[in-house]
Structure 1
Amino acid sequence: MASNTNAQSIPDLLSTWAGNFSRNTTSAFAQLRLKDYVRLITIIGAYCLLRPYIIKLGGKLQAKAHEADSADHGDIHPNELRGGKIEIPGIEDSEDEEEDEEFESKPGDWGRNARVRQRKFIREALAREEERLRLEAAAEDDKDIEEFLVD
């Protein structure tokens, strides 16, 4: 039953708002004097005339801010972003290996244990893959040699 009263009150509320809006706008313009009309036209005219200049000024300020931001980042060639060498964290970092051995937990080093575990995992995975490739290459060389010896 409460939803029924809410459904009836919403159209009543909307009609009240519409009535207030129309009454307030018509009474606002009906009570304006000549001085008020001149003031309103002056404000609207000044806005229309100054708006393009304000937008251009904002654009210039934004362009300067963008140039300052891009200057801070340095020049990066697009090819460096596309196909540059991918660095794997922790690979060929002798400092990190030494730090891994002497690792002591510090309050400000959140996630450091996870980074260390990830580096060790990547090193081990790369070592296993290199070993597998080395063994495959050795087996392939043995097959080539065996082929010449058997014939």
Structure 2
Amino acid sequence: MAGLGDVASMVGNRFVNNISGSFGSLTIHQWIRLVVIAGAYMLLRPYLIKLGSRFQMKQHEADEKASLEEAAAIAAGKKAPLSANDLRGGAAKKAPQQPESDPDDSDDDVPGAVVSGTDWGKTARKRQRRVLRKMLEAHEQALVDAQADDEDKDIEEFLED
């Protein structure tokens, strides 16, 4: 416990020494500059806060207006009400175009079809199948290379220099 008290007193002494050294060595020009900066901050801060609140209020009003217009469009029947997928953030999106066709990826996949948030598992499964297929091909290639090396060693036994 004595170590903790020593550390606290050391920190306190350093703080006092640094602050007194900083302000004790200021010239008159530096004092004036410090007072001007602090004063300008204290004078301008309330105006900057009011300006920020005005911008924030305008943004809130615009958001509220947009939500009221959307609610009116839904009530008038011009727009479909929100579905559970829309609320979850899974609004319908266009499916990305796959440059390569994959026979294993034919899970009722129509190019350009609309995909909802509930279909994320399908693309993950396709991606996993591609990764596994690439790993299997790499392993098979390594086995073929190893077998070719073994055959070369067998042939080298019979060669003479």
Output the TM-score relative to the length of structure 1.
Answer: 0.46
Select the structure with the greater relative contact order (CA < 8 A; seq sep ≥ 6).
1
Return the structure number with greater helix share: 1
